[in-house]
Amino acid sequence: MNRGAIWSNGRLFFNTLDNQTFALDARTGTEVWHTRLGDIKQGETMTMAPLVVKDRVLVGNSGGEFGVRGWLTALDAATGKIAWRAFSTGPDNEVLIGDQFHPFYPSDRGKDLGKSTWPGEAWKIGGGTVWGFLSYDPTLDLVYYGTANPGPWNPSQRPGDNKWTSGIFARDPLSGQARWFYQLSPHDLHDYDAVNENILVDLPFNGTTRHALVHPDRNGYLYVMDRETGEVLSASAFVPITTSTSVDLATGRLRYAPEKDPQPGQTVRDICPASPGAKDWQPAAYSPRTHLVYIPHQNICQDAETAQTSYIAGTPYVGATLRMKPGPGGKRGRVTAWDPAAAKPAWTLDEDLPVWSGALATAGDVVFYGTMEGWFKAVDAKTGALLWQFKTGSGIVGQPISYRGPDGKQYIAILSGVGGWAGTIVANDIDTRDKTASTGWANVVPDLRQKTQKGGMLYVFALP
């Protein structure tokens, strides 16, 4: 169970659920080295795809819902030895915050904020895991990644901003030293995380070209940031939002809507977006031809009730009961083509079920994505018009790729096989009579069994 592997210099690097990173000879499959990085008995796992930068293999951990303390670790690509580890919570020396750290906003400045913004020693079981995708800018020589939600989900147990969770770090890949940080959801109230992909593009802004970072976040806003400094240039809603009103560009703070704050023992209704967010980890695509970002995402809300919870190592540490439901309009999925320079959509497509596959944009101005019913679709990148579709054997939650074969032809590949958080109703045979099952998914996709089935098959298509 992981989100992918990476090839570099003849070696294949990947993570396993029991916290090991492996390096194989890509041609023979022979193991070169493996390194164990965490303890699954504590609820710690690894599901993300590694990133290789220079001679470093960068990997992060999962398990925020088990009270795991998040980190990003760099391994020596040749030997597998740990070069550095940067925690997401705790004192500056363990977060690798030093003299090079210059966050843009004052709220992210100060000594040992990874401790002082938590009650007592709650930071030791505070989440902030690193299970999403990493990006690298070779010109600035910086790695960008998001940190996940704080633990537990019940925010009344962790007053404060809960640094450095639910935000974006920029780091030096060789030393691990942090350059800047921005917290998208301070004191995260709804499990919004910030692990979604960071797309690095150069964009026009107020008459100049800025080295930008584009981040469609689970909290419902698409952020365009200066990737050199961490300044937010724009933050625009791409779904209906009830949990906040806007992002204050002067301070960088998310303006929460107090009426949607979780209250222990009370049911708060119509929380939009729901905890999986306006968009979860399924990656968007950017086309340098159209200058649009193609976002596969969902349109779901939830009712939620929080309660006091206790930490027991290796067991769930959540303190919330959810009941998800379709968002405004009733369609549970959407693909949005977003213009990041104009901060507005170019076109949108509605889908019945959440769109949990990644998107792929090609130089032929075609965008590919999959649906949870199992349709693999190609649409016009400029208009969204449907060009072609193919019904696979199971729901698609994987990422399409494009490659040139040895025959010189272009191919598109997609893995079909429903699963993950959104597909667990089918993959794990969940009884949907309990509307809170699968952390609330049972109520929003109770019809998933009628629309798809279990599976696992790789499909490859040739382009003319």
Please name the residue that has the structure tokens 């008459």.
207
Instruction: Give phi and psi for 164, each to the nearest 5.
Output: -110, 55
Burial 247-280 (b: 16+ CB within 10 A, else e): beeeebbbebeeebbbeeeeebeebbbbbbbbbb
Instruction: Single out the catalytic residue among 149, 162, 196, 198.
Output: 149
Residue 149 annotated as catalytic: yes
Whether 443 and 324 have beta carbons less than 8 Å apart is answered as yes
3-state helix, strand, coil in the chain (%, to 5): 10, 40, 50
Q: How far apart are CA 40 and CA 297, in angstroms?
A: 30
Q: How far apart are CA 84 and CA 93, in angstroms?
A: 12
Q: How far apart are CA 42 and CA 32, in angstroms?
A: 28
Whether 83 and 96 have beta carbons less than 8 Å apart is answered as no
Please name the residue that has the structure tokens 């009270």.
67
Whether 294 and 284 have beta carbons less than 8 Å apart is answered as yes
Torsion of CA 166, 171, 175, 176, to 10 degrees: 10
Whether 177 and 100 have beta carbons less than 8 Å apart is answered as yes
Instruction: Single out the catalytic residue among 44, 94, 188, 191.
Output: 191
Instruction: Single out the catalytic residue among 15, 19, 44, 65.
Output: 65
Burial 57-67 (b: 16+ CB within 10 A, else e): bbbbbbbbbbb
Which residue from 334, 352, 231 is spatially nearest to 284, judged by alpha carbons?
Answer: 334
Residue 259 annotated as catalytic: no
Whether 224 and 234 have beta carbons less than 8 Å apart is answered as yes
Burial of 464 (0-12, 13-18, 19+ CB in 10 A): exposed
Residue 154 annotated as catalytic: no
Integer CA distances (angstroms), 200 to 143, 144, 145, 190, 213, in order:
11, 9, 12, 27, 5
Distance of CA 119 to the CA centre of its chain: 27
Q: Catalytic site residues?
A: 65, 149, 191
